[in-house]
Amino acid sequence: MNNSQVVIIGAGASGMMSAIAAAQKGASVVILEKKERPGRKIRITGKGRCNITNTKPWAHFSTHLHPNQKFLRPAFYSFSNDHTINFFEEIGVKCVVERGDRVFPQSGSATTVVDALQAKMASLGVEQHYNTPVLKVGSSNNRVDSVVTRSHTYNPGALIIATGGLSYPLTGSTGDGYKFAKSLGHSIVECCPSLTALMPKNYSTELEGVTLKNIELSLFIVKDMVQLERGDIDLTNNGIEGSLGFRVSRKAVKALINGNSCYLVINLKPAVSDSNLESRITKEIKELSSNSTTALLRKFMPKQLISTFIRDNNLPESLSNIRESYKFVIELRESLKNWKIEIVSYTSYERAVITAGGISLNEVYPKTMRSRLIENLFLSGEVLDLDGDTGGYNLQIAFSTGFRAGEEAAAYLSLKEA
């Protein structure tokens, strides 16, 4: 029984940062984690390498946040991407900046990040409990007064919910925080998978393993173009992934959930003008020794794409009788620059990188991460209705909001004890 403690539910990125920030301010901190070890999701981020953050300045960083860029601003300036890099360097994690301003541990291993965070918590005296799921959070008089586990009931001076969302449930993200917050009166914005694979209609297994670089990808919902991006996509057993696929997935998933049709348009040659592409097509046709459309298309794309490309664009299998046709040159140019792909489904939470939706931001003070409804409740990380694009943005959200929640929870206790 200790109502002068900060109790944190969840030992992920945000929870561990909250614990460290609160302990550094002199608070007595207890962290409760349902899994057998901390940072289960961190360990698989960045394909096991852990994309810690992104070095872009706020003006550019903020454009990669959804749905409310302004909400993160106070927490970001309190603990920015520069602060994050310096923090990890100070606790022994050397960092390197890679393409796209993405920051990784020099070791190339996400385990390095988790181990350093756990060691820092231990050095500050944070009480860590694993294999300890929280069963219930109780409240009275607009205050959290109990956190119940199988073996113990805590009476926190302040509570931080940092349980994550619903993505990668095997790591422990099963929506517990939404249940706790809702029981305390908070509203939950409808959740859906984000940064997830999109499945095209009639998807062929021949496409698996192909990466398309430096393409242009447009997302259309019904008939309106709602997003345009340039970069790379990966074609996997789950459909369209990679940086661009993930980036458009948020709006695509929401459209499908709402019953709207959506499709992608791929420009395979965005850097080549229409006239130059037409000239190249004409040249390749003249130099071609056969009448095979497949042979021609090998000059423009990976061979695994060809049969699907021909089918989707209603192209002839043979060039007989059309080798000299300018109309065919125009049609092929249009197809290379406007390959339409209908999206029919998406990968759910089991492999989605992040959860969109969560605890309403209208019910949280952005400067402190404190609940507007419950006096001693703080909220941080993916449990909030705040998410980012792929590229280090989501972990920075976790670190910024976690740090702010931890410091403010400790400050709240200090004022109460004064």
Could you read off the pLDDT of 286-305 as tens digits, one per residue?
Answer: 999 889 999 999 999 999 99
286-295 contact pairs (CB < 8 A, 24+):
288/319, 288/323, 291/318, 291/319, 291/320, 291/323, 292/317, 292/318, 292/319, 293/317, 293/318, 293/319
**Cis peptide bond upstream of 57, omega within 30:** no
Report the pLDDT value the prediction gives residue 416, as an integer from 0 to 100. Answer: 81
**Which pLDDT belongs to residue 1?**
45
CB 17 within 8 A of CB 116: no
Residues in the chain: 418
Indicate left, alpha or beta for 141 from its phi (over 0: left) and psi (-120 to 50: alpha). left
pLDDT, position 321 = 79
One-letter amino acid for residue 304 of the chain: Q
pLDDT < 70 regions, the chain: 1-2, 418
In angstroms, how far is CA 307 from the centroid of its own chain? 32
Given this model, what pLDDT does residue 81 score? Answer: 98
What CATH class is the domain 5-193+354-417?
alpha beta
CA 69/CA 73 separation, integer angstroms: 7
The per-residue pLDDT for 103 is 98
CA distance 21 to 83: 13
Q: Which residues in the chain are classed under CATH 3.50.50.60?
A: 5-193+354-417
pLDDT recorded at residue 326: 87
Q: Give the integer Cα–Cα distance in Å for 311 and 293.
A: 12
pTM of the model as a whole: 0.94
